[in-house]
Amino acid sequence: MDCVEIRGGKPLCGRVEIQGSKNAVLPILAACVLHEGTSRIDHCPRIQDVFDTIVILELLGCRVWWEGHCLAVDASQISQWQIPAQIAARMRSSILFLGALLGRMGKAELPYPGGCVLGARPVDLHIKAMKDLGAQVEEKEGCILAECRMPKGKEITLHFPSVGATENIILAAVRAEGVTVIKNAAREPEIGELCLFLREKGADIREFPEGRIEIIGGVRLRDSRHDLEADRIVAGTYMLAAAITGGCITINRMPENHMESVTAVFENMGIKIERIGCDVIVDGSRKRRNIGFLETAPYPGFPTDLQSPMMALLAVTEGESRIRENIFEARFKTAHQLKAMGADIELKEREAIIHGVPALHGTQVEAAELRGAAALFLAGLRAEGTTKICGCHYISRGYENICGILSDLGAEIVTVHQ
């Protein structure tokens, strides 16, 4: 999927079942290599980042197959510890194989990871943590080479609660000698889900509310089956689709317990959210209030992954709103594309000042990263006329069958092959 055309102006109505979590499944797939046996993951999303991770697993020597929406990984025959540049360059999460391969093979070689262009996103925290666990790490010619025959547990304090660095430490520590303690660990739900997946395999991991994680290494792992939690960012995106189009969408499998910061923003804007059994109904038909000020923050704060999609909604919400981006310095790239559609957005360093306009206008825009692509889809759903969005391969990295789902909800959307 390279380009799509959306004819906007239709309220979206219907029911959506939320896919399994992208941000949780990628570290879990890396964790599969730690066990000389089989892991099964239910509700695994069929998205490009998963397909690319499967390629990495197979290159390492794993056998991988689908059983419906369950993905099975047999890692008993792993023989490689190197990840080629052409596959690692496609996604940021390839860095998670650093800790996993150190734990399983005692060495790892991988290029600097790719993915979305969101700023520097350095891997220095990952490298320092591997050194703390006893690894020798060499950086040369765009490549990271790490070696440690037996990582040893240690107390590690992160100066920033990085999700990826926390995950890499957990992966390396599961098979390390002794006890590893992580202080100021990230507390995002995907961290807890990675720990749960590993505990289901027999690992001894304890989590504490203040961002402390303890791993007793060296416990023998076993075959397991894990039911992946729903994707909170995808859920938030479909909530925004209801709000921006003035529609009403029923969401099934919404991980409400991890979305309090998001639902609080919606309710403050006057968007009606009703819970009936396992369903959440988002009614965007009423007039919205502007948010005033919103800033992204590590969990449990408002997620940076929903900042760009939220900007699309605020662009057509009366009054002035301000967004401060505290996680990624280059996450306002989509603002320029929204402005081409008629949005009134002023950028000042890490802040975006948004003056709501009555309408957006269809034109041709270009997605540059995953969540920015989602924002452009939302803007196209609201805009007058036809919006052509190019660079849509980004959205396939994290959203399963989004064009089909939006069509089922009433959107006029077609794929354009170039």
Distance CA 181, CA 190 (A): 18
Are the CB atoms for 360 and 378 separated by under 8 Å? no
Is 116 tagged catalytic?
Answer: yes
3-state helix, strand, coil in the chain (%, to 5): 35, 30, 40
Write down the catalytic residue from 32, 44, 62, 116: 116
d(CA 46, CA 228): 13
Question: What single letter denotes the amino acid at residue 35?
Answer: H
Is residue 257 exposed (0-12), middle (13-18) or buried (19+ Cβ within 10 Å)?
A: exposed
Q: Which residues does residue 224 pair with via DSSP β-bridges, in sequence order?
A: 39
Let me know: does 197 contact 28? Beta carbons within 8 Å.
Answer: yes
Quick one: tokens of 196? 């749960």
Stated length of the chain: 418
Q: How far apart are CA 175 and CA 102, in angstroms?
A: 9
Within 10 Å of residue 209's Cβ, how many Cβ atoms? Answer: 6
Distance CA 297, CA 186 (A): 11
DSSP annotation string for 189-254: HHHHHHHHHHHHTT-EEEEETTTEEEEE--PPP--EEEEPPB-HHHHHHHHHHHHHHT-EEEEES-
Distances (CA, A) of 258 to 228, 254, 374: 14, 9, 20
DSSP, collapsed to helix, strand or coil, labels residue 305 as helix
385: left (phi over 0), alpha (psi -120 to 50) or beta: left
CA distance 366 to 157: 40
Closest CA to 47 of 407, 309, 390, 401: 401
Q: What is the CA radius of gyration of the chain?
A: 21
Q: Which amino acids are annotated catalytic?
A: 116
